Structure 1
Amino acid sequence: MLYNLGIFLYGFILKVVSNFHPKAKKWVEGRKDFWNQLPSTRHKNVVWFHCASLGEYDQGLPIMEAWKKNFPNDYILVTFFSPSGYENIKHKSIGDYTCYIPLDTKQNARKFIAHFKPQKVFFIKYEIWINHLKAAKNSGAELYSISASFRKNQRFFKWYGAKFRNALSLFNHLFVQYENSKVLLKDIGITNVTVSGDTRYDRVHQRASKNKENPTIATWSKDETVFVIGSSWSADEEMIIPLINKGDISEKVIIAPHEVNNSHIEQIEQQLKVSYQKYTDLQKGIVLDSKTKVLLLDCIGVLADAYRYGNIAYVGGGFGTGLHNILEPASFGLPVIFGPIHEKFPEAKEFIEAGIGASCKDRSDFFHAYSTFQQKSNIQDDVISFIDEKKGATDIVMSHLTY
């Protein structure tokens, strides 16, 4: 009862907030006329993958691709909760149909499942929408959790978390990233668990192996070393840009902010005291100057392959918003520096322990880590070896799944 009331209140608040919050507006408008747009899937074997956002889609993509290869006649349904996932993927999704997941009310869940009648359901990482899971289970679908990661302070393990513990018991099998997640689940009576690892390692290795060149960045970087600042927020930029301006960072620099709206790009431009060019200007015909110190990626979709041209990376979000993907730069052999708040991201701890990652709390910490990685001659080989050892989660998951 409390959960369902909370869902209704959440939907109501988002509708109110949507009047002045762009992301909330997209969330609400993306679900307008939802039911009339659904395609007919009659006589089709629907397999449903649900992702919270863009990161979870990338995490689930190796499984989706493997599923499509093994079962080409199945109908792949992909859903998102967040606009940042759906808006970026809707036109290039692997799914036969891609849409938002409707608000998790009992009525919506039953109607959604009754329409698609999925045979198998995959929820990626953290997503737990109780009413949709129940409706799918009651319909006879098999439920799987992919690349799940659990921590002791989550609600599943609290005295008030019975409803969410019960939701976990709906899964036919849970594939978790780490052994400690399996132990936590065992403590609450859930034993249908396999430690498979993180499918993101398969994803980033696959991307790096494609050897996709970016002619603009390749021309600018040539044979010089490049420091890449990826998915940065204001706190990250304010820490590092003064070092760029002073010349303490001697390399060329790529800055790829997480938010590419005009106000944030202008904020970065105001801080830069060295020569820079914006990536979108170069696409409009402005001449690229090889002597430009900073290349500012003021658009999305370029960063993942831009790491190819780097030698050290800083990944943003570790000062409060949530650490972004540190596996992407590592797949190209880059050691990674990040902010101090990363306890929800166990891969960060593993990077630090392996000597290929470093956490910093201020400018001095950052520069120490940056200088240390500069002096390590074999660091790229160490990073590549680490990524290679972590591959294989997709094969483990698929070996458990048959009709």
Structure 2
Amino acid sequence: MGFIYNTSIYLANLGLNILSPFNTKIKRGVNGRACTFDLLKQHLKTGDKVLWFHCASLGEYEQGLPVFKALRAHYKQHKIVLSFFSPSGYEIRKNSPIADIVVYMPLDTVSNAKRFLDLVNPELTVFVKYDIWPNFLKALKKRQGRAILISAAFRKSQSYFKWYGKSLKQALFTFEHIFTQNERSKILLESIGYKKATVSGDTRFDRVSSQLTQNNNLDFIETFKQDKLCVVAGSTWPEGEALLINYINKKAPKDIKFIIAPHNIKPNQIKHIQETLRVKTCLFSEKDICTLSQAQVFIIDTIGILSKIYSYADIAYVGGAIGHTGLHNTLEPAVFGVPIIIGSNHKKFPEAQEMIDNGGMFSISDQLSFDTILHDLIKNSNKRTQAGDNNLNYIKKNKGAVIQILDYLRI
């Protein structure tokens, strides 16, 4: 493995340890990785049959979940190890029912790879989307371990396709098969000589489709919404919250209900939203002591229920693309047949552009465009219905990635 890559991992490890006392998220990751090998020793014994699933963070976990569930159901006698790199994934899913052991992924050194694989020795490894670890994968390949990459999405600008990306490029060739989200990614793989790729689509479509088969009822949302039109703003960041608050304070009809589910639920941020709004609000954490039906804005200061809340939306706003934090999951509201508003910074999210082209999603860049599009959707029920139908049909059209992956695995 390349000297430059291994040196960069060493420096990254050094940097994380230096910064950990000053950053809570980094500290969680450093402390969590220090416990990984002990956790594996506690829960695994020689002779165990093991599957290993790896995700960078929560988004990749949700993306891979339909495949994970199918493998869990098929390999009933196997133990499943689920690893995360990011604390935002580990902390939320450390008790995931699809896994027997959930751990932090150790940094990608040769010694960590050997130690990890000596303990886990997986029959099958599934990596999701893009979090690729060359030393781990090379060691796995030497042991003749099976590894697949699912929902992969590549761009020409990535290191895999540059002269200086030799180590990462070699890592791709350790996968016995790569399932890509689109034809463009498959063509990029072929350009470097990788031929074992299938365009299966994005497993997120299967994941969100399964939401329709679940019980999405939330009594407190029904009490809040009543029979009124409801705008749900999900995974919001301050830039988008400012647009929404201005609209509510100055232009929103009084009979419209708004639900705001911020990405950052720290008390100071929640307090700022609540104090800036000039209408009656209620917090999720105080729902039992406030009169929900009389509030115009319901602020969700908790996590884990947004996908259900979207089922009550007549219009959705999805955060992340006003600034540079990255667009959050737009497929979650789309599956409920809801028109969606997003910011203009969505170039790295092809599904967003496709839904815009289909007429189900609307991109805004400032207060004026936000106000205009939202007000139009509120007033025009036909446009609202048609846009929502376009989004639902888009989800239906793109389902099926999981079936192709399971077929390859002969399940």
Please say whether Structure 1 and Structure 2 have the same fold, judged by a TM-score greater than 0.5. Answer: yes
Q: Is residue 389 of structure 2 the alignment partner of residue 386 of structure 1?
A: no
In structure 1, the residue matched to 2:353 is 349
Pick which of 156-165 and 166-175 moved more. 156-165
Aligned AA (1:17): L
Identify the residue that residue 257 of structure 1 maps to in structure 2: 262
Tell me the equivalent position of 2:126.
122
Preserved CA contact (<8 Å) 1:49 1:123: yes
Task: Count residues in correspondence.
Answer: 401
CA contact (8 A) 1:149 1:181 kept: yes
Q: 2:88 aligns with which of 84, 88, 101?
A: 84
Q: Any conservation in 2 of the 1:334–1:380 contact (CA below 8 Å)? A: yes
Instruction: Give the letter for the 2:189 counterpart.
Output: L
What is the deviation of 1:159?
2.1
1:110-149 pair list within 5 angstroms: 110-149=114-153
In the alignment, residue 391 of structure 2 is paired with which amino acid? V
Structure 2 match to 1:369:
373
Partners of 2:360 and 2:386 within 8 A in 1: no
Which stretch shifts more, 37-46 or 315-324?
A: 37-46
Q: Which residue in the other structure is 1:27 paired with?
A: 29
**Partner in structure 2 of residue 334 of structure 1:** 338
Shift in Å at residue 314 of structure 1? 0.8
Indicate whether 1:156 and 2:197 are aligned: no
Distance in 2 (CA, whole Å) between partners of 1:336 and 1:371 is: 13
TM-score (norm 1): 0.96
The corresponding residue for 2:6 is 4
The one of 75, 99, 103 equivalent to 1:95 is 99
One-letter amino acid of the counterpart of residue 306, structure 1: I
Deviation at 1:73, TM superposition (A): 1.7
Whether the 8 Å CA contact 2:6–2:109 is kept in 1: the answer is: yes
Match of 1:290 in 2: 293
- Once residues 164 and 345 of structure 1 are traced to their aligned partners in structure 2, the CA distance between those partners, rounded to angstroms, is 23
C-alpha displacement at 1:212, in angstroms? Answer: 2.1
Q: Does 1:210 align with 2:214?
A: yes
The answer to whether the 8 Å contact 1:156/1:165 transfers is: yes
- Which amino acid in 1 is paired with 2:405? V
State the Cα distance separating 1:248 from its structure 2 match.
3.0
Q: Distance in 2 between matches of 1:16 and 1:36?
A: 23
Displacement of 1:249 = 5.6
Moved over 6 A (4+): none
Aligned to 1:109: 113
The answer to whether the 8 Å contact 1:278/1:298 transfers is yes
Give the deviation of 1:80 after TM superposition.
Answer: 0.3
RMSD over aligned CA atoms reads 1.4
* 1:201 match: 205
Name the CA shift for 1:192/1:373 in 2 (closer, same or farther; >3 Å): farther
Q: Tell me the CA shift for residue 238 of structure 1.
A: 1.2
Q: Secondary structure at the match of 2:290?
A: coil
- What code does the residue aligned with 2:291 have? L
Q: Deviations over 1:185-214 (max 9, x none)?
A: 111111110000111111111013213211
TM-superposed CA distance for 1:279, in Å, is 0.4
CA contact (8 A) 2:282 2:290 kept: no
In structure 2, list runs of 5 or more residues that go unmatched: none
CA contact (8 A) 1:373 1:379 kept: no
Q: Is the 8 A contact 2:51 2:81 kept in 1?
A: yes
Segment drifting more, 291-300 vs 161-170? 161-170
How much does 1:372 deviate?
A: 4.2
Aligned to 2:122, what secondary structure does the other structure show? coil
Partners of 1:339 and 1:360 within 8 A in 2: yes
- 1:71 Cα deviation from its structure 2 partner: 2.3
Alpha-carbon separation, structure 2, partners of 1:289 and 1:119: 51
Contact 2:360 2:389 in 1 (8 A): no
Tell which deviates more after alignment, 42-51 or 380-389: 380-389
Following the alignment from structure 1 to structure 2, what is the Cα–Cα distance between the partners of residues 247 and 126?
A: 42
The answer as to whether partners of 2:134 and 2:170 remain within 8 angstroms in 1 is no
- Tell me which moved more, 19-28 or 247-256: 247-256
| 183 and 309 in structure 1: CA distance in 2 versus 1, 3 angstrom threshold | same
Q: How far did 1:181 drift?
A: 0.7
Mapped to 1, the partners of 2:194 and 2:215 lie a distance apart of 42
Partner of 2:274: 269
Q: TM-score, normalised by structure 2?
A: 0.94
- In structure 1, distance between residues paired with 2:398 and 2:94: 29
Q: Tell me if structure 2 keeps the 8 A contact 1:90–1:99.
A: yes
After superposing the two structures, state which structure 1 stretch, 144-153 or 381-390, moved more. 381-390
TM-aligned CA deviation for residue 74 of structure 1: 2.1
Change (3 A) 1:287 1:371: closer
Alignment check: 8 A CA contact 1:227 1:311 kept: yes
The alpha carbon displacement at 1:315 in A equals 0.7
Greater mean alpha carbon deviation, residues 81-90 or residues 10-19: 10-19
CA distance in 1, matches of 2:72, 2:221: 33
In 2, the alpha carbon distance for the partners of 1:44 and 1:301 equals 33
In structure 2, distance between residues paired with 1:226 and 1:353: 25
Cα deviation digits, residues 370-403 of structure 1 (max 9, x gap): 2444420333322222111111110011100138
Identify the residue that residue 403 of structure 2 maps to in structure 1.
395
**Aligned counterparts of 1:56 and 1:212: Cα–Cα separation in 2:** 22
Q: What is the alpha-carbon distance in structure 2 between the residues aligned to residue 247 and residue 209 of structure 1?
A: 37
Can you give the 5+ residue segments of structure 1 that lack an aligned partner in the other structure? none
